[in-house]
Chain A
Amino acid sequence: MKHLKNAVLGATMLAGAFGTVHAAQAADLSIALNQIIQGLNPQDSNYNVDYSVANGIYERLIAFDGDMKLVPQLATSWEGSDDAKTFTLHLRKGVKFQDGTDFNAEAVKFNLDRLADASLNLKKHSLFKLVESVETPDEYTVVIHLSKPFGAMINTLAHPSVVMESPAAIKKYGKDIAKHPVGTGPFKFQEWVPGEKMVVVKNENYWDSEWPKVDKVTFYPVAENGTRVSMLMSDEVQFVPILPAELMKRVSESDKYEVLEKPGISVWVMAMNMMRKEFKDIRVREAFNLAIDKKAFTQVVYGGHAIVPDSPIAPATQFHATQTPALTTDVAKAKELMKEAGYGDGFSINLWARNNSTEVRMLQFIKQQLSQINVKVDIVPLEGATRAEKLFGSNVTPENAEFDTVIGGWSPSTGDADWHLRPVYSTEGWIPNMYNEAFYSNPVVDKAINDALESADPAKRAEAYDIAQKQIWKDKPVVWLAIENALAGRKKGLTGAFPMPDGTMQYAHAAFEE
């Protein structure tokens, strides 16, 4: 036994020694992703993992910093007209695409015209439906004209899908641009083996001579959570941008690795189908909100790595306003409200969610909590594609929708209140059109959401979003459950690679400390 122990110890030390040598030489970065990459044309993708890897190859006109604040990238400054119909952007000079062609106003116009062209069937065309024309008064100025006021235009330009792709490359590759990406970013595309790995290398001609500081970045899609962590702990990767809370301890226990935690913008709710007579009654919706202990929810589901919502949108989302009263738990009051509404003996509902372990925990917790007010919950965990069809299938109507309540999370990729409130709470957003799963409809909210788009003036927009948030908070079409923190694991000494609140990640400024 003692021999064995010594042998193991020796081998561990040997491995440790090799590990150190390896690390000291490494100017290369490896990252384990939680999903497979679908394609490398973000303009034609709805997947965070595609946006994440594209972040180093491509750049946007305007980007987000780590806290979802707008920062200049390929545009150095911008302004919107008072009527929110005209937006002018001033471009960075001296930028070249990785194929050597110039980045200028013409290139921006080419990209925006492409996104606005419905006939190309790009998935993110929907963000640019309102673009009427794009003008280029000089080589470094772009003016965007919209057919209707759209106050959220600047944030829309910062959406992770709105990257500037080389017009020459698009002409050369056509649809295949998704396999041959050419942008202005610090890393050039080198190789993609679908399902296995993707490699990018240093762009020697990057416009900011200070960057990049690593020579090569390799991405591995690794669906299994435990394997991602093992890869980090054996130094096969140095960054795991999505780390499940239950595996956090394994990373934080070691002094070679650290856990990064950031407030997210993904708000989890339980939507109550307001076509059901029970949920038409505000007292029932309020009782549900009071019966479920949110603090306990964040503990049970996220091990405490989440916060309790204080508005329909997350604090890091632009135009967030803290609402009063804050969410509380009060089972006695919930029972009273149910009795007043005529449901003292409760009723039965079904509750839908995906069948992953996190959402199954949510289901079980909510079932238990609602039993306190005599509501019998039939929990229905669904496989992803099945859930999508039953919930948002094209033939789903408010009348035939089969769910009573459903769990869902929404993260607005533009970082702007509009792309949270409109899809989730406006009448226009009713499923299957967008993601209003409660079939909630309030003219006050609809008007405020539209008013906010009429202006590009942040003060005016904030005023309108205040009204919308206040009204939704009062109407309670959903039970607000939690705002999940973004968790990542990283090797100590690595900087500049971090998770973003919207579920994507950044690695453009990755560097290993000497």
Chain B
Amino acid sequence: MVQYFLRRLFALIPVLFLISIFVFLFVHALPGDPARVLAGDTATLEEVETVRRTLNLDAPLYQQYIKFIGNILSGNLGTSLRTHEPVTTMIGRAFMPTVWLALCSLGWSVLFGLLSGVISAVKRGSIGDHAGMFAAVSGISMPPFWLGLLLMQFFSVQLGWFGTSGFDSPSDLVLPSLTLGAGVAAIMARFTRSAVIEVVREDYIRTARAKGLKEKIVIWKHALRNALIPVVTMAGLQFGFLLGGSIVIEQVFRWPGMGALLLDAIRFRDYTVVQAEIMIFSLEFLLINLLVDVLYGLINPKIRYS
């Protein structure tokens, strides 16, 4: 198991290397000239060229790549073209707010999604099932920026219970994680429902019932445990997305996180920041995948690693 884990960890290195090339080329292939954007809206050509020179953007592409990969290997992500701050500082500032938001959103949405999914599956066809699935479809379909603005209008402007935006106290987490988690909760609910419906048709469930186990134990212990595999996969995937920071939600709630940072970096073609963020997102996804694989084993001891 430990050996398996370490082997998987090492296998990440070539993957990350390939990703670095891909990310670098992709970022530089984006249309848009950073010198022009960074020089500002009313810059003359002369001002633009000055910016290009001072930022070394006129160097050949392979030289810029070597510098980029060299920076990564020495644990330094370069300096932002736009703010001239070290990228590690900028990401250091944005990382935790996004992690908090991701954890809170995932926490409530998985809990809520699992519960309502199981209930829907057990009471299939009932009013509760229809209501739950109606809510789930609404949760998936509702544009998050709109839901966010609605919540803000009601809870912040009218009731004054929470601040509208920003991250100054833990209570500021409530509205953004409600908004961000709504979609995830809906997906989790639907996933859990179909997984449980699938599993309760299995023979061993019939056996469990036949030997007189309580329905509660049948569902929550036997059925759910097996239904969890696809659900955990989905939760892992969603967590990866959440850690990427939601550009839209962070924009609406003025959240000082990774999504807002990425959006500004893309807008200003701040190559170093965009590259660093995408590298980090990739790494997060790879690690979460690994973690999900390990979780499979814990949920279902029949899964063996080799």
Least CB distance from B248 to A in Å reads 9
Q: Quick check: A47 and B163 within 8 Å, CB to CB?
A: no
Q: Quick check: B83 and A385 within 8 Å, CB to CB?
A: no
Point out which of B39, B254, B264 has the most chain A C-beta atoms below 10 A from its C-beta: B254
A36 to B37, CA, bound (A): 14
Chain B 151-164 per-residue mask, 1 if CB under 8 angstroms from chain A, else 0? 01100111111011
Chain A 259-297 per-residue mask, 1 if CB under 8 angstroms from chain B, else 0? 000000000000000000000000000000000000000
**For chains A and B in complex, what number of residue pairs have CB atoms within 8 angstroms?**
144
A393 to B253, CA, bound (A): 35
Contact for A388 among B32, B51, B256, CB less than 8 A: B32
Chain B 79-115 per-residue mask, 1 if CB under 8 angstroms from chain A, else 0? 0001111000010011000000000000000000000
Q: Quick check: A434 and B45 within 8 Å, CB to CB?
A: yes
Least CB distance from A428 to B in Å reads 10
Q: Quick check: B157 and A234 within 8 Å, CB to CB?
A: yes
A8 to B158, CA, bound (A): 9
Least CB distance from B279 to A in Å reads 20
Does residue B3 face the partner (Cβ distance < 8 Å to A)?
no
**Chain A, Cβ-Cβ closest to B41:** A46
What residues of chain B lie closer than 8 Å to A432, measured between beta carbons? 45, 48
Does residue B31 face the partner (Cβ distance < 8 Å to A)?
yes
Does residue B46 face the partner (Cβ distance < 8 Å to A)?
yes
What residues of chain A lie closer than 8 Å to B82, measured between beta carbons? 38
Contact for B37 among A178, A388, A390, A411, CB less than 8 A: A388
What residues of chain A lie closer than 8 Å to B84, measured between beta carbons? 175, 178
Chain B 17-43 per-residue mask, 1 if CB under 8 angstroms from chain A, else 0? 000000000000011111011011111
A19 to B157, CA, bound (A): 11
A11 to B251, CA, bound (A): 28
Q: Quick check: A47 and B33 within 8 Å, CB to CB?
A: no
Q: Quick check: A227 and B164 within 8 Å, CB to CB?
A: yes
What residues of chain A lie closer than 8 Å to B93, measured between beta carbons? 193
Q: Quick check: B251 and A224 within 8 Å, CB to CB?
A: yes
Count of chain A residues near B, Cβ 8 A: 56
**Chain B, Cβ-Cβ closest to A231:** B164
Given contacts A46-B40, A47-B40, contact A386 B31 (CB under 8 A): yes
A433 to B163, CA, bound (A): 46
Q: Quick check: B50 and A123 within 8 Å, CB to CB?
A: yes
Q: Quick check: A388 and B33 within 8 Å, CB to CB?
A: yes
What residues of chain A lie closer than 8 Å to B32, measured between beta carbons? 383-386, 388-389
Given contacts A46-B39, A224-B251, contact A196 B45 (CB under 8 A): no
Does residue A342 face the partner (Cβ distance < 8 Å to B)?
no
Q: Quick check: A123 and B156 within 8 Å, CB to CB?
A: no
8 A Cβ contacts from A217-232 to B:
220-224, 226-227, 230-231
Given contacts A123-B39, A236-B163, contact A227 B252 (CB under 8 A): yes
Given contacts A45-B40, A121-B54, A222-B254, contact A234 B164 (CB under 8 A): yes
Q: Quick check: A385 and B53 within 8 Å, CB to CB?
A: no
Chain A 1-41 per-residue mask, 1 if CB under 8 angstroms from chain B, else 0? 00000001001101110110000000000000000101100
8 A Cβ contacts from B132-176 to A:
145, 149, 152-153, 156-161, 163-166
Does residue A365 face the partner (Cβ distance < 8 Å to B)?
no
What residues of chain B lie closer than 8 Å to A121, measured between beta carbons? 50, 53-54
Q: Quick check: A195 and B261 within 8 Å, CB to CB?
A: yes
Does residue B260 face the partner (Cβ distance < 8 Å to A)?
yes
Q: Quick check: B36 and A393 within 8 Å, CB to CB?
A: yes
Least CB distance from A129 to B in Å reads 9
Q: Quick check: B161 and A15 within 8 Å, CB to CB?
A: yes
Q: Quick check: A234 and B39 within 8 Å, CB to CB?
A: no
Chain A 122-151 per-residue mask, 1 if CB under 8 angstroms from chain B, else 0? 010110000000000000000000000000
Does residue A111 face the partner (Cβ distance < 8 Å to B)?
no
Does residue B215 face the partner (Cβ distance < 8 Å to A)?
no
For this complex, 7 residue pairs linking A to B, each with C-beta atoms less than 8 Å apart, are A11-B160, A46-B41, A175-B84, A194-B83, A222-B254, A383-B31, A411-B42
Q: What is the interface of chain B, defined by CB distance below 8 A to chain A?
A: 30-34, 36-37, 39-51, 53-54, 82-85, 90, 93-94, 145, 149, 152-153, 156-161, 163-166, 251-254, 256, 260-261, 264, 267-269
Q: A11-B160, A227-B165, A393-B33 are in contact. List 17 more A-B contacts (CB 8 A).
A: A14-B160, A16-B160, A126-B46, A194-B83, A220-B254, A221-B254, A222-B165, A223-B251, A224-B252, A230-B153, A234-B160, A385-B31, A386-B31, A389-B32, A389-B36, A392-B45, A434-B44
Q: What is the interface of chain A, defined by CB distance below 8 A to chain B?
A: 8, 11-12, 14-16, 18-19, 36, 38-39, 45-48, 121, 123, 125-126, 175, 178, 193-197, 220-224, 226-227, 230-231, 233-234, 236, 383-386, 388-390, 392-394, 410-411, 413, 423, 432-435
